[in-house]
Amino acid sequence: MSEAKCCCCESDGSFNLAEMENDTVLCRCEEVTLGTARKWIAEGYDTFDEIKRMLRVGMGPCQGRGCRDILLREISQITGRPVSELSPGTIRPPVKPIKVSLVARDYTGGDKK
Amino acid sequence: MSWKKTADAVVIGGGMMGIATAYYLKKLGVKDVALLEKNTVASGSTGRCAASFRAQWGGELNITLGKACIDRFEHLEEHLGVDLDIERYQNGYLLVAYTDKQFEQFKKNVALQNSMGVESQILSHAEAMEICPGMCVDDAAGFSYYKRDGHADPMISTFAYQEASKKIGVRIEKFTEVTGFKVGDGCVRGVVTNKGAIATDTVVNAAGPWAGRVGALAGLNIPAKGERHEILATEPVDWGVCPTMLMSFEPDYYMFQRPHGSILAGCGPNMYRKEAAPFDDYEMEDSWNFLEHMTGHLNKLLPRTRGIRVVRQWAGMYDITPDLQPVIGEADEMKGFWVNVSGARGFMFGPVAGEMVAEKIVKGSTSLPIDEFHWRRYAEGRFLVEPSIA
Ligand SMILES: Cc1cc2nc3c(=O)[nH]c(=O)nc-3n(C[C@H](O)[C@H](O)[C@H](O)COP(=O)(O)OP(=O)(O)OC[C@H]3O[C@@H](n4cnc5c(N)ncnc54)[C@H](O)[C@@H]3O)c2cc1C
Ligand code: FES
């Protein structure tokens, strides 16, 4: 952090920034904040899949498209391992949500709708 | 972290069966307990399962244990002293019989369950419709129901044991794969892993679907292997689309709605795969055939699901044994080598089976009966019979 102080309140901004970030929503689909994820990463749940299993991060309708990279960056920062070495977790089909009736095999013999 | 080369007991496998065993071993006074998991805790079958629990079994032993499991799940967080919510939800299993023969069996099961303090019921079509309005089961012969059956979150329940175990000092080593054993004079002497060896005289093989493979590393024939089972989840929808666990053994299906809103649905491989059983299948691949078949069942049974979207599907493994019943005990051929395999119900049985195996190891006796589950029964030609499985 630089030495620069805020012009009106003398704060150097660093502490508040981290606090503010903790309230930031990391996974919008499952409404999980960065702070919650950071707490569990620090508790040893320091892989994508462990955080996913604990907090459902990445299990929402977008299947992690909105949160995967942010979570991997957090894990990298806390564990000191580069993102390239982290397992990105499993991406599960169907990659885009599809309607039940579109795939259903109607085993009573009727039309497929 | 430095590698500790000794332990008083080593548990292999970080699913519900293993983590619960490790927790109760430590709780019952074993000083240095290590749990070894080749991946991460809850990454195997446990984290992929439907996480349902029931007392509606047909055999006395299973009813006794099933009931104990419900008692435990109802108070799991307090029991473990952890600040987590396992998202337990109890609105019964509604079991559907499609033939008179099945329905006769349900009636026998309910009579036995009632005699053992499980207040299950036989329901009429109208009564069943009240529990699950909107379902389409005109072809059913009858129903049974027990309101305390239910489900929970599989990962958080397992992590609840992990957190409780960490608190009391169980050593949990993830990314640690057992690759061999040290044995001598008919006793186990230690385990060998990708991280190093640990000397110990007590090992619990709780590797679930992999328990046969782990046993083979010690030269033992443990009759447990994997069989791929698939499941799907829909997007969260309004509450009430499937408010109970709707399940049938023949045809084989189950479906239920989690408190979070998603509907989960699954069935056994014989419903959509062409290969002949038995499967010996360690691929975690999911299939289009399953998706097509299962959505068909969903549409038919719960017509309101037609417009709902499937967001995920995945596969896990049943830990299967020759009679689909648990395989539990100390190997006759090797002192100190214990096995704790559930027979494809490890989520619900884990918390109780783990405690019983720990009791047996520490005290030599158990408060609930598990001795029948020793796999020497197969050599003696005895198979356990359980009518309430698919
Ligand atoms: C789709 C599906 C639905 C299911 N629904 C239910 C249900 O509703 N209720 C229920 O009770 N059960 C259900 N089951 C069954 C249940 O998932 C299993 O019975 C249970 O998870 C077995 O638990 P476990 O701890 O024995 O095995 P696992 O959870 O598989 O744990 C075994 C662990 O051992 C580890 N391991 C393997 N080899 C080694 C090695 N050499 N060294 C170190 N570690 C090793 C694995 O990585 C794994 O994590 C379901 C299963 C599936 C697939
Ligand atoms: S933002 Fe996390 S799953 Fe969609």
pLDDT in tens, A39-98: 999 999 999 999 999 999 998 888 898 899 999 999 999 999 999 999 888 767 666 778
Residue B188: Cβ within 10 Å count: 24
Report the candidate in B21, B6, B335, B34 with the shortest Cα–Cα distance to residue B188. Answer: B335
Q: Given pLDDT bands bounded at 50, 70 and 90, which one contains residue B321?
A: very high
Question: Does residue A81 fall inside a structural domain?
Answer: yes
Centre of ligand 1 to C-alpha B136, Å, is 32
CA distances from B290 to A104, B43, B273 (A): 10, 22, 8
Question: Does residue B30 fall inside a structural domain?
Answer: yes
Question: Does residue B385 fall inside a structural domain?
Answer: no
pLDDT per residue as tens digits for the range B225-278: 999 999 999 998 998 999 999 999 999 999 999 998 999 999 998 888 876 655
Question: For residue B296, which residues of chain A lie inside 8 Å, CB to CB?
Answer: 104-107
CATH of the domain at B203: 3.50.50.60
Taking the CA of B62 as reference, the closest ligand is: 1
Judged by CB atoms closer than 8 Å, whether chains meet at B286 and A54 is answered as no
Domains in chain B: how many in total? Answer: 2
Amino acid A5: pLDDT? 57
Whether residue B310 sits in one domain with residue B199 = no
Cα distance from N-terminal residue to C-terminal residue, chain B: 45
Whether residue B303 sits in one domain with residue B235 = yes
Average pLDDT value for residue range B199-206: 98
Q: Mutate which of B24, B46, B176, B270 to test ligand 1's pocket (most atoms within 8 Å of Cβ)?
A: B46
Residue A66, ligand 2, Cβ within 6 A: yes
Whether residue B309 sits in one domain with residue B162 = no
Question: Does residue A3 fall inside a structural domain?
Answer: no
The answer to whether residue A105 neighbours chain B at the CB level (below 8 Å) is yes
Amino acid B46: pLDDT? 98
Question: Does residue A102 fall inside a structural domain?
Answer: yes
Question: For residue A63, which residues of chain B lie inside 8 Å, CB to CB?
Answer: 311-312
Whether residue B232 sits in one domain with residue B185 = no
Domains in chain A: how many in total? Answer: 1
Whether residue B141 sits in one domain with residue B244 = yes
Whether residue B110 sits in one domain with residue B160 = no
Question: Does residue B264 fall inside a structural domain?
Answer: yes
Amino acid A110: pLDDT? 36
Q: Which helix (H) or strand (E) holds B363?
A: helix B346-363
Residue B319, ligand 1, Cβ within 6 A: yes
Q: Mutate which of A25, A29, A54, A70 to test ligand 2's pocket (most atoms within 8 Å of Cβ)?
A: A29
pLDDT beyond 90 at B31: yes
Residue B192's domain comprises 9-49+155-224+323-379
Residue A95's domain comprises 17-106
Whether residue B160 sits in one domain with residue B43 = yes
Whether residue B311 sits in one domain with residue B230 = yes
Whether residue B112 sits in one domain with residue B230 = yes
Question: Does residue B57 fall inside a structural domain?
Answer: no
Question: Does residue A37 fall inside a structural domain?
Answer: yes
Question: Does residue B64 fall inside a structural domain?
Answer: no
Taking the CA of A53 as reference, the closest ligand is: 2
The answer to whether residue B271 neighbours chain A at the CB level (below 8 Å) is no
Whether residue B140 sits in one domain with residue B165 = no
Judged by CB atoms within 8 Å, which residues 284-313 of B form the interface with A? 286, 291-293, 295-300, 305-313
Looking at chain B, the whole-number percentage of residues with pLDDT higher than 90 is 91
CATH of the domain at A48: 1.10.10
Whether residue B308 sits in one domain with residue B241 = yes
Amino acid B270: pLDDT? 84
Amino acid A95: pLDDT? 62
Take residue A95 and report the two structure tokens written for it. Answer: 């990659």
The answer to whether residue A109 neighbours chain B at the CB level (below 8 Å) is no
- What ipTM is given for this predicted complex? 0.89
Question: Does residue B78 fall inside a structural domain?
Answer: no
Rg, C-alpha atoms of chain B: 21
Whether residue B119 sits in one domain with residue B219 = no
